Amino acid sequence: MSGQRDLKAYLKAQAQRVDVSLDRLLPGDEAGGLILQAMRYSLFAGGKRLRPILCLAAAEAVGGEAERVMFCACALEMIHTYSLVHDDLPAMDDDDYRRGVPTNHKVFGEGMAVLAGDGLLTQAMVVLTTHAHVASIEPWRVLYATQAIMRAAGYEGMVGGQAADLLAERQEPDLATVQLIHAKKTGALITASVQAGALLAGGNEEQVRTLVRYGRRVGLAFQIADDLLNLTGDAAQLGKATGSDEQRGKMTYPAVLGPVQARQTGEQLVREAMDLAAGLGQGAWPLVELARYIMERTH
Positions touching a copy of itself (CB under 8 A) are 32-36, 39, 86, 89, 91-92, 109-115, 117-119, 121-123, 125-126, 129-130, 132, 138-140, 142-144, 146-147, 150-151, 153-155, 159-160, 162-164, 166-167
* Distance (Å, whole) CA 188 – CA 153: 7
Cβ proximity to a copy of itself: between 166 and 241 the closer is 166
Cβ proximity to a copy of itself: between 130 and 204 the closer is 130
Cβ proximity to a copy of itself: between 21 and 123 the closer is 123
CB 56, min distance to a copy of itself, A: 22
CB 189, min distance to a copy of itself, A: 11
CB 225, min distance to a copy of itself, A: 25
CB 161, min distance to a copy of itself, A: 10
CB 238, min distance to a copy of itself, A: 23
Backbone angles phi, psi at 243, to 5 degrees: 75, 5
Cβ proximity to a copy of itself: between 123 and 298 the closer is 123
Cβ proximity to a copy of itself: between 154 and 281 the closer is 154
